[in-house]
Chain A
Amino acid sequence: MRNLITGNELCARAAIDAGCRFFAGYPITPASAIFANLVRELPRRGGVAMSSPDEISAIAYCIGASLRGIPSMTATSGPGWCLMSESVGYALMAEVPVVIAVVQRLGPSTGGATAGAQGDIGLVSEAVSGGYRFPIFSPSTAAECYTDTLRAFYWAERLRSPVVLLSDKEVASTAEVVDDEALPALVSPGRSEWRGGPVGYRTYAFEKEEDVPLFAPVGGSAKVTATGSAHDQAGLLRKNDPETLGVMRHLQAKIDAAEPELGRVDFDYQEGATTLVLSYGVSARASRDAVAQARSMGRRVSLGVLRTLFPLPVTALHAGLAGIERVVIPEENHGGLYRNAVLSALGKREVVGVNRVGALIRPEEILDAII
């Protein structure tokens, strides 16, 4: 059935469909609708949705619940994300699955609660010390908010990692038409669990560095030793010894190894095009219109909509960049936060940014950059 619905509502619905059973949140525009929807729906579906007194607590509650074995999620915007970032590092280091929906709004600081932006790409992707890159997905439509929330849970659970669903005010809170029947079903395999009984479990055991350690819940029969400090495979505090250094490499290796599978760019190719418009989120929508206009004027141009921002979707990009000489990257921030991050994957091609802060980038501005 066709419905008029927002991305935030579909994000909440997808969380439930993906098996989320714990949500903790602190209100912030434009993310609050996720919270409100889950407070209403989650208890009816066997879960808990609770308020926290701040965002530091919200994510800590989620990580706690996830350590107990419960798929968990929180939702916030830039200011709340800043408070959460210490614990995001914890989730990465302690290998705890957790999904964080970050609905961007205008910054810096309190900025504009009801104004859109794509200004938190750097804040989110570089939140964790040491250059670690956890998966960040970026929907550009309400329907994609659904799909990418499913993907976020799938990869958080599979990789034992924090995953961010990075949307923006326009994409998340504009109601648009979505056909229920067209929404995909992605069955999450859940975490790979330890089934070896009470003896012999090691919280961070792996053979190859890209392997994901088996999960056992705190409170189960196998003793868990979880930690956010540098540790060996047993979870005991250590630094500088070879095993610990291996764990430190493993934390990124397991994510990088999944890149070919979790990296996603939706391409709309045109035969013979040498220009590619590469965008994400709200700006991808204007890009679609700009590309259509350019084509109607006889220009050859391809479009790539990034559904994975990080780890850089190099496999998908590599395929999509064949024959491309010029890449136009529209995004609603100063200086091109993603443009600078993706540069290394674009080789020697000419790269042009289309940027604006505080208002939507219009299709005409992108068209100007295409032609």
Chain B
Amino acid sequence: MQSSEPAPAPFLADCALPYCKGCGHSLVVRSLADAMQQSGLAPEHLCIVSDIGCVGLIDRLFPTVHTVHTTHGRSTAFATGLAVADGALCGGRTRFVVVIGDGGSTIGLLHLVAAAQLNVDVTVVLHNNHVYGMTGGQASGMSPEDWNTVTTPDGNPLLPLDMMGILRAAGAGYLARELATSRSLTGRLVEAMAHPGFSLVEVIEVCTAFGTKLNRLTGPEVRALAERTGEPLGLREQRLGRRHYAEVARPPDEPTETGTRVQSRVVVASALKAPLRVVVAGTAGERVQSAAALCARLATAAGLYATQKNDNLVTQGTGYSLSEMILSPSPIHYTGIDAPDAILAVSADGWNTVRGLARTLAPGGVILVDDTIPGVPEGLPALVRLPLRREAGRDDAALAALAWLLARTGALPPQALADAAVATHGEKAAGAVRAIAWGAAEANRGGD
């Protein structure tokens, strides 16, 4: 009885293959086409992502599957993006097959490692012909030791990279090595494409244009070469159960509305008539920048314009931390502070960073420095020393200094700053509220 099922369309185009006579790439392409046919996947659910090199001449050979021809070494990364988007956002029906050489695999080694680590639905067919074929037979990171190539005329002094070992360590779930001439190759490729997650088949061949000639190699010797340059041929790894990144990344079905940021809703009025340019400096981790942010947000709620920018050491958790803040009744364009109206230094780190600004102080400006900071020249104009750290505590000294400034300038009511702290931090704001009250009281006492 004849089956009524039509035979699946052949995956391979009916045309001459573009590779050199005897090149293993031809064998791999035929095996891949057979494997695709045996996989039972519809062509629209298959995509060949090809690298640069002789391996990249594959596009026109597969007229029914999707093909993406990429850049040298990066094919695996393009395939990773495709596979994550497909798996996490499009139902995950597509299998991505990377076709790459030993050259591409070494320049793009990190992409192979990352794809194995992410465990994406990508099957890599690594055509290892032991040289850069397309560029004329130079040594690659997978050339055998002592191998003669155009760039190692005295023999390759290096050991070839152990791709199986590298990718096993990266978490690859399916790894195999086969000769291009092996009858098992097609079956391996079918297995690899059926493996859920990342899989790689290293296919051993010898570049007929360069490898065989320079190394006087005959066909039967290729098996010995393969065994000398890496793990034994055959299935090298088959593990299931690792999570797929695409599953981890799949967003929930129902989009959730974003939580709106807590902004100060305190209703206040400001008496500010001209821009107030403030530099507040202290030590990283002592809430200098968040104090300035609270103040700038309050100003925003009060209908003022505000800008705030922060600076700190690149290490972020140590050294100085400062904020430059401008509060203004009119829109702010230039955000530089060339002549500050107030310099507030709440720690020695902070003072050492901003001390140079003292000579640029605007007329009528003020400098407030914690009274424990050593080496502050007493002759500075408009210098005020207060026990900020002792009275407000390390973490609220900046808030106390800002409350002092707001009270002194009438820019905003300090009580509103305290309300904003409570609105933002709830019960944890008790210390902040005390610090603000103390700072404002000092200003009202004319604490200078």
Nearest Cβ on chain A to B376's Cβ, whole angstroms: 26
> Measured between alpha carbons, how far is A106 from B74 in the docked complex, in Å?
29
Task: Quote the shortest CB–CB distance from B280 to chain A (angstroms).
Answer: 14
Chain A residue at minimum C-beta to C-beta distance from B49: A64
CB within 8 Å of B: which A203-227 residues: 217-221, 223-227
B179 within 8 A of A: no
Q: Tally B residues with Cβ within 8 Å of A.
A: 70
Tell me, yes or no, whether A159 is within 8 Å of chain B by CB.
Answer: no
In whole angstroms, how far apart are the Cα atoms of A2 and B264 in the complex?
Answer: 10
Among B82, B249, B306, chain A packs the most CB atoms within 10 A around the CB of B82
Beta-carbon contact of A65 and B85 below 8 Å: yes
Distance of B448 from chain A, by nearest CB (Å): 30
Q: Contact partner of B66 among A2, A43, A219, CB < 8 A? A: A219
Q: How far is the CA of A130 from the CA of B275 in the complex (A)?
A: 49
Q: Are B308 and A63 in contact (CB under 8 A)?
A: no
Using A47-B89, A70-B89 as known contacts, say yes or no to A285 and B59 having CB atoms under 8 A apart. Answer: no
Q: Tell me which of B93, B110, B111, B334 contacts A286 (CB under 8 A).
A: B334
CB 8 Å contact bits of B229-261 with A (1 = contact, 0 = none): 000000000000000010001111001111001
Min CB gap A297→B, angstroms: 17
Residues in A whose Cβ lies below 8 Å from that of B303: 2
Chain A interface residue bracket vs B? 35 or more
Whether B44 contacts A65 by the Cβ 8 Å rule is no
A70 to B336, CA, bound (A): 40
CB of B272 closer than 8 Å to a CB of A: no
Contacts of B256 on A, CB cut-off 8 Å? 44
In the bound assembly, the distance between CA atoms of A334 and B174 in angstroms comes to: 53
Question: Quick one: which of A76-122 are within 8 Å of B by CB?
Answer: 86-87, 90, 94, 113-114
Determine which of B59, B65, B258, B307 lies in contact with A235 in the assembled complex, contact meaning CB atoms within 8 Å: B59
Interface pair A86/B71, CB less than 8 Å apart: yes
Min CB gap B53→A, angstroms? 12
Q: How far is the CA of A52 from the CA of B251 in the complex (A)?
A: 18
User: How many whole Å from B2's CB to the nearest CB in chain A?
Assistant: 27
B168 in contact (CB, < 8 A) = no
**A22, B89: Cβ atoms closer than 8 Å:** yes
20 A-B residue pairs with Cβ-Cβ distance under 8 Å, sorted by A, are A2-B300, A3-B263, A4-B296, A4-B306, A41-B258, A44-B252, A45-B251, A45-B258, A46-B251, A48-B250, A53-B113, A57-B114, A61-B78, A65-B85, A86-B74, A174-B307, A177-B306, A225-B59, A229-B56, A289-B334
Other than A65-B81, A219-B86, A285-B333, give 4 A-B pairs with Cβ distance below 8 A.
A22-B81, A64-B79, A174-B335, A285-B335
Question: Which A residues contact B (CB, under 8 angstroms)?
Answer: 1-4, 21-22, 24, 29, 41-48, 50, 52-54, 56-57, 60-70, 72, 86-87, 90, 94, 113-114, 170, 173-177, 198, 217-221, 223-229, 235-237, 285-286, 288-289, 360, 362-363
